[in-house]
Amino acid sequence: MTDVPVIRTTALTGVAHGFLTRAGGVSDGAYASLNCGIGSHDDAAKVTENRRRATEAVVPGAQLAGLYQVHGADAVAVLDAFDPAVRPNADALVTNRPGIALGILTADCAPVLFADVTAGVVGAAHAGWKGALGGVTDTTLLTMETLGADRDRIVAAVGPCIAQASYEVDDAFRQRFAAEEAEADRFFRDATAGHAMFDLAGYVAYRLARAGVRTVEIVGADTYADEARFFSYRRATHRAEGDAGRQISIIGLTGND
């Protein structure tokens, strides 16, 4: 089987986790090769195999739990394995059960992985700009706490996403953040008239720190600019390519954590 590259972080050392790239799968064409997007137009059997490979690379033997992501702020606790065809409408998952791998799909949005090693609780969140602004990381933390986590112990990592240098937005977008809090404006850098560059990863890390997470690591890879390693919805849109693949980020408990 082809090796599946996995990006791991120092913050989550000791926890089975990984931010996957687009390499190591069986898809071809625009989806080459580790497309894990169930909702894409890729061949369903290939996506299933890609998701299996990704899970085995990160949490061998675990069952992958995923979501129908809606760019919101809801989080769900996964206490039992569930049918992969029945995905809750939410943007974050948490669990304290070994053998369940939590998977989040992205193609420019920020994947965020969480762990409280002492409590044996992990989480994964999909933080696009809407979810980040709406508080998806806050609800993930709250849901982890219902399973016994303590946010003084929780560590988090923000995975590959579109970087500020690639993320141009208009003033209306910027004002949505300013309306919530003046502090958010430091994550925008002026660009052309009426436009700015937005630091999504920085904003997500800020929201985590503001919520009391003491250790937050940012991977720093740019999904838009690094075509060799990552799918990018915005890049595909700018090129009028239509559908885009999705990379997956996974975390889970092995029973030895």
117 touches 132 (CB < 8 A): no
- For residue 52, tell me if it sits in a domain: no
Structural domain that includes position 150: 6-15+64-163+199-232
- What is the predicted pLDDT for the residue at 2? 55
pLDDT, average across residues 117-144: 98
- For residue 36, tell me if it sits in a domain: no
Digit-coded pLDDT (tens) for 185-232: 999 999 999 999 999 999 999 999 999 999 999 999 999 999 999 999
| pTM check: above 0.95 | yes
- For residue 240, tell me if it sits in a domain: no
Tell me: pLDDT of 84 over 80: no
Question: Residue 131 belongs to a domain with what CATH number?
Answer: 3.60.140.10
Please choose, from the candidates 79, 196, 97, the residue with its C-alpha nearest in 3D space to the C-alpha of residue 88: 79
Tell me: pLDDT of 1 over 80: no
Mapping DSSP to helix (H, G, I), strand (E, B) and coil, where does residue 191 land? coil
Domain total for the chain? 1
- For residue 94, tell me if it sits in a domain: yes
Distance in angstroms (rounded) separating the CA atoms of residues 97 and 112: 19
75 touches 136 (CB < 8 A): yes
- For residue 79, tell me if it sits in a domain: yes
- For residue 148, tell me if it sits in a domain: yes
Class of residue 45 by CB neighbours under 10 A (exposed 0-12, middle 13-18, buried 19+): exposed
Tell me: pLDDT of 41 over 90: yes
